[in-house]
Amino acid sequence: MRIGFIGLGIMGKPMVENLLKAGHEIVAFDILQKNVDKVAAMGATTATSPKAVAEQCNIIITMLPNSPHVKEVVMGEAGILQGANEGTILVDMSSIAPLVSQEIEKACRKKGVKMLDAPVSGGEPKAIDGSLSIMVGGEKEVFNQVYEVFMVMGASAVHCGDVGAGNTTKLANQVIVALNIAAVSEAFLLATKAGVDPKRVFEAIKGGLAGSTVMNTKIPMILERNFKPGFKVDLHIKDIGNALETGHKVGAALPLTATVMEMLQVLHADGWGEEDHSAIVKYYEKIVGDLLVK
């Protein structure tokens, strides 16, 4: 199958690699030539614009940073809708505001293009090994048409409802992840300040009710002082911002989310925005004046 893929960054590049390994033909575009060159070396065909991608493909995947980028790529000059044929399927796998997904879908519908919003969870490691969790909004029939493609990139793909439901589900995921990292950081700093080895605390509690995928993934990174990004602080700021904005519009109270947003903003201001979101621990270390691991 020939698939267009736009957005070849930390997540997009390994997703393209897995699609190529599965035998799909990829027509790729990114605004950064170095990213295009990397996927071209893997065997992808390259295009000069989103419009040019759409002219060659009936399924197009976008994996972009935020709402404005997706709107520009889809609806802008030389965008996807300028080159797409009626019946084209657009799968936006970016994490953006649900209401923007719905806005883009309306523009697609006018052109006869079907759209799914299908954000992912799992970060770079799961993008590399093809085990992402994919949350999908849109028509069930269109979801079924793309399901096998999803399963090349992910371990699961769940239809969550109409367009916007995928990104709403992703925002719920991102709220839980951010609050979990903050809770883990707070708890382990408590243990350290009380004189208990955090490595032993981890071994003792990881199999109990407090255990979680977040803790099992992030605590080893924190203990090793390894903040190489699987998911950057600045990207989590974007997602939490979308969650707060959506919460305001639908009347959902998010007081804990707002608190974590302030922590993330401190990290950004201190120059840690490009680090992994496990760097939330640095917020606690800053206000306590001591390190979790010395």
Catalytic residues: 170
Give the mean pLDDT of 206-224. 95
Residue 122 pLDDT exceeds 90: no
pTM of the model: 0.90
> pLDDT band at 128, cuts 50/70/90?
very high
- For the chain, which residues make up each domain, given as ranges? 2-119, 168-288
Q: Which pLDDT value is given to residue 230? A: 81
Residue 294 pLDDT exceeds 80: no
Residue 8 pLDDT exceeds 90: yes
CA distances from 64 to 12, 49, 87, 167, 197 (A): 8, 14, 23, 13, 41
Domain boundaries 2-119, corresponding CATH code: 3.40.50.720
Give the mean pLDDT of 42-56. 97
Q: Which pLDDT value is given to residue 231? A: 87
CB atoms within 10 A of CB 78: 14
Is the CATH number of domain 168-288 1.10.4080.10? no
Give the mean pLDDT of 126-148. 97
Q: Which pLDDT value is given to residue 166? A: 98
Give dist(CA 253, CA 242) in Å, integer. Answer: 14
Type and span of the H or E element at 21: helix 12-21
> pLDDT band at 29, cuts 50/70/90?
very high
Q: For 158-208, what is each residue's pLDDT tens digit?
A: 999 999 999 999 999 999 999 999 999 999 999 999 999 999 999 999 999
Above pLDDT 70, what percent of the chain?
100
